Amino acid sequence: MSSCRKPLDALTSRNPASWLTIFGPGAIIASLTIGSGELIFSSRGGALFGYQLLSLFLLVCVFKWALVFTTARHMILTGAHPFQRWMDLPGPRGWLPLVFLLLAIVSFPVWVSFHAGTLGTLASGLLHPQTSGTGTHLLWGMVILLVVIGLTLTGGYKRLEKLQLLFVLLMLLAVTVSLFLVHPEWMDLLAGFANVTPPDYPGWITPSVLENWLGVRYTTPPEFYSEISERPVWVELSTYVGVIGGSGYDYLAYVTYLRDKQWGLASNEQPNPVPLDAHDETARTRLRQWCRAPLIDCTLSFTIVLLFSAVFVACGTEILGTAHNVPDGNNLLNLQAEFVEATSQWLRPFYFVGAFLALFGTLYGTIEVAPAVMREIQNAFPRSATGGDPGKTRRITILWVGIGGMLVLIGNLTWQHITGASKPTALIAILTPANLFTGVLACGIICILSCWADRRYLASPFKTPLLLTLLNAVAAILFIALGIKAYWDHSGRMAFLILACTIAAAWLGVEVLNRRLAKRSADSND
């Protein structure tokens, strides 16, 4: 157990202000979602659905809070990361961690390319506004991505936490000011949190069904957003669910960051071999106190996320929705500028600086999440199977994610020139398949398995409270159901064929690995 007294003193203090000193890993989660969730998707959702979207965001934040806190609580009490617990699932040892590894290899470069492309849009629009639609933003995205790769190779958790905390504080100040400048309908905004009506596209998005003088019915597509009208509402909403508050991989990395903070037993690279009920009463009391750390950290994080969501939904509703404008990765700069230009022109450069910092923090954090996830997969499998060199694994992971993201940007730019398209493929369209797994399905899986791990490994006095267990169970059902429906509406049988093939490959891979390890162990004993 950590001998660090300062955080523990803050946790046991009766002064709520001292609890703020605990806030750290949660800032990373908040910053990761601000760049994609709020700057793009919250304002996009506000433009499309208005304030009725806020109730969905509230539910998502509550369910994801329950997921993160439950997982972090288990880590603090036992020192065991979810990947380490999943090694004990029925079937070949380690098949599910390997599934997550295979999907991470594909998903992370896509996420990185999306964030880098959006940053490139900001840079290109500021420096070369006359080149809009030529792919210049992708070139700038490549340059920025190279800079961030260099920072991650030379940095680590301490730098990440400080940068993300700074970005969160700056953006929190900026958006609070923006909210009052926009002058939203306050009663409509508050009523949106209690909305129970399923959101639907507005009339200016959906095609119009008309009838001519002969009685023949025909459909008139919307003039500007036919690609949105052809996108099922469930898919659109599932994308928001996936990005608001972070994704499953973000939460798996969050638990890893608790090791760096040395909270409770989280500093142990391997699960604590001593049963919780074998500790003396003083040790058990201290562990319960440590559980307050992720409670405070996660609560602050998701409160900030919800605040940002409300602000940008309000901006999207009041400014973009009334003008029938929908932001995506390609028109982000001009449309987002309307948030502040509607109030005062001199706020424009401050907004761009804040947006750039938020997106930069998201890109930096996303690249840092990848080696954190790989670190825990490496800890879960035997050292003889992974090589046992965390530093080398970190460098390889960062390079793969960075180079993979670069290849996606290059492919997008190449496709534009080959096809002669007036603009590159929207990066949101590229992001959607990866997001449906990482941000939706993966969250449901983690919820279920967090409850399973707590019930199996925790002693009675430390088991998860019933309310928290119920929240995880409901969240799991909703995330999995929504993810399955969205995947089906988006890709049909192909999505599930790919997922089934991934599971089969992981199953076969660990079977082969386990047999080799068993043979190697038998040979060494001989």
pLDDT tens-digit profile of 437-451? 778 888 999 999 999
pLDDT tens-digit profile of 71-106? 999 999 888 899 999 999 998 999 999 999 988 888
Sequence-distant (≥ 6) Cβ neighbours of residue 510 within 8 angstroms: 92, 93, 94, 95, 98
Cβ atoms 308, 42 nearer than 8 A: yes
Predicted confidence band at 217 (pLDDT cuts at 50, 70, 90)? Answer: very low
pLDDT at 444: 92
Reply yes or no on whether the pLDDT at 462 is more than 60: yes
pLDDT at 476: 94
Reply yes or no on whether the pLDDT at 132 is more than 50: yes
Reply yes or no on whether the pLDDT at 115 is more than 60: yes
Give the pTM: 0.84
Domains and CATH numbers, the chain: 26-249+265-288+310-516 (1.20.1740.10)
pLDDT at 74: 92
Query: Which is higher by pLDDT, 286 or 211?
Result: 286
Cβ atoms 365, 27 nearer than 8 A: no
Mean pLDDT calculated for residue range 411-431: 64
Predicted confidence band at 212 (pLDDT cuts at 50, 70, 90)? Answer: very low
pLDDT at 271: 64
Reply yes or no on whether the pLDDT at 269 is more than 70: no
Mean pLDDT of the chain: 79
Reply yes or no on whether the pLDDT at 464 is more than 60: yes
Record the tokens describing residue 394, joined without a space. Answer: 């970190």
Reply yes or no on whether the pLDDT at 377 is more than 70: yes
pLDDT tens-digit profile of 386-398? 566 777 888 899 9
Top mean pLDDT of 185-189, 339-343, 503-507 is at: 503-507
Cβ atoms 367, 398 nearer than 8 A: yes
Distances (CA, A) of 90 to 301, 479, 513: 34, 23, 16
pLDDT tens-digit profile of 316-340? 888 777 777 776 655 555 566 665 5
Predicted confidence band at 276 (pLDDT cuts at 50, 70, 90)? Answer: low
**What does the alpha-carbon distance between residue 209 and residue 230 come to, in Å, rounded to a whole number?**
14
